[in-house]
Amino acid sequence: MKVTLSQENDISVISIEGSIDGKTAPLVRQEMYPTLETAMRVVLDLSKVDYLSSAGLRLLLLVYREFAAKQGKLVLLGVSEDIQTVMSHTGFLNFFKLAGSMPEALQAVS
């Protein structure tokens, strides 16, 4: 699991690589936290995430809830079809805005 942070103008891009499960979710959260605390526009790049467990989905929903509370903008980029299906079956998908490409993602939070 690896978390990379970058910046596109006033938009924070958080890229995650690997699996997000019960073991890694607290670490991902820890690494994202400083960015999430201050940023108002975030692209969460999940195109290199191969597996999201139940705990992983919960991490995403918590982040979404925090953003909704402070009226920030959050978009998920490159969520694989498999993960989208799981998110759809469990009701998580309805909460998020999804983007297929970086320009689309940046547009969505601009």
Residues that bind another protein (CB under 8 A): 21-23, 26, 53-55, 57-58, 61, 85-86, 88-92, 95
Q: Which is nearer to another protein, 40 or 93 (CB)?
A: 93
**CA-CA distance, 92 to 33, in Å (whole number)?**
21
User: Which CB sits closer to another protein, 88 or 110?
Assistant: 88
> At a CB cut-off of 8 Å and minimum separation 6, what does 34 contact?
none
Task: Tell the smallest beta-carbon distance from residue 22 to another protein (Å).
Answer: 3
Cβ closest to another protein, residue 13 vs residue 76: 76
Sheet with 2-8, edge to edge strand ranges: 2-8, 11-20, 41-52, 73-77, 98-99
Q: How far is the CB of 32 from another protein (least distance, A)?
A: 15
| Shortest CB 54 distance to another protein, Å | 5
**Smallest distance, another protein to C-beta of residue 78, A:** 20
The pair of three-digit structure tokens given for residue 74, joined into one six-digit string = 């959050």
- Beta carbon nearer to another protein, 2 or 23: 23
Residues 14, 32 contacting (CB under 8 angstroms): yes
Residue for token pair 């995650």: 16
Which amino acid is present at 93? Answer: L
